Amino acid sequence: MLELDATFIFAFISFLIFIFLMKIICYAPITKIIAEREKFYEKNKQTVSKTKTKIESVKKEFEREISKTKLESSKMLKNATEENQKQKSEILSAKKVELSNSVDEFKNSLSKSANSAKVELRGEISGYVKEAVSRIIKIDPSFVNIDESQIDEVLK
């Protein structure tokens, strides 16, 4: 059978002391380091998770602000375009009225000039006709009567 002698017992006790010392010297610090690393990893994992959440919220806020800004800019552009069209219409209306007034003034001026020219021509034609009749008939021009309606008909 198996003989137990002092060497075996001594080796067995030495092995148990070695295991106990290794547990104190190596295993405890290693498990402590592993636990600290796991805590560090979990802490960083939570920080990353919080940071991702913050990034997503900031991104959503940024996108909301961009869409809001785009909407405001499109409204501003639309308002500016409408105001520009309104000003354009007002300016065109004012220019049309101004042009119409200028045309009316020109027509009135032309009409007055034509009427004054007709009056002058009527007088000159009347004088020439009187002179021609008086020379042909050989009478004094003051005795010659001319029908003004015939002169008006010629001038039309």
SS3 string of 41-89?
A: HHHHHHHHHHHHHHHHHHHHHHHHHHHHHHHHHHHHHHHHHHHHHHHHH
Give every CB contact of residue 131 below 8 A, 6+ residues apart in sequence: 141
pLDDT in tens, 15-35: 999 999 998 898 988 999 999
What gap in Å lies between CA 125 and CA 146, rounded to an integer?
Answer: 10
Instruction: Flag whether pLDDT at 129 surpasses 90.
Output: no
Q: Is residue 100 part of a domain?
A: yes
- What is the C-alpha separation between 79 and 71, in angstroms, rounded? 12
φ, ψ of residue 138 to 5 degrees: the values are: 65, 55
Is 53 inside any structural domain?
yes
Q: Is the pLDDT of residue 1 over 60?
A: no
In a domain? residue 28: no
Q: Is residue 65 part of a domain?
A: yes
Mean of pLDDT values over 49-73: 95
Residue type for position 12: F
For residue 119, give the 3-state DSSP assignment. Answer: helix
Asked, for residue 21, whether it belongs to a domain, the answer is no
129: in domain: yes
Q: How many domains does the chain contain in total? A: 1
Within a domain: 110 = yes
In this predicted model, what pLDDT tens digit does every residue of 110-125 receive, in sequence order? 888 888 887 787 778 7
Cα–Cα distance between 56 and 49 in angstroms, integer? 11
Structural domain containing residue 54 = 43-155
How far is it, in rounded angstroms, from Cα 2 to Cα 16? 21
* pLDDT (0 to 100) of residue 144: 65
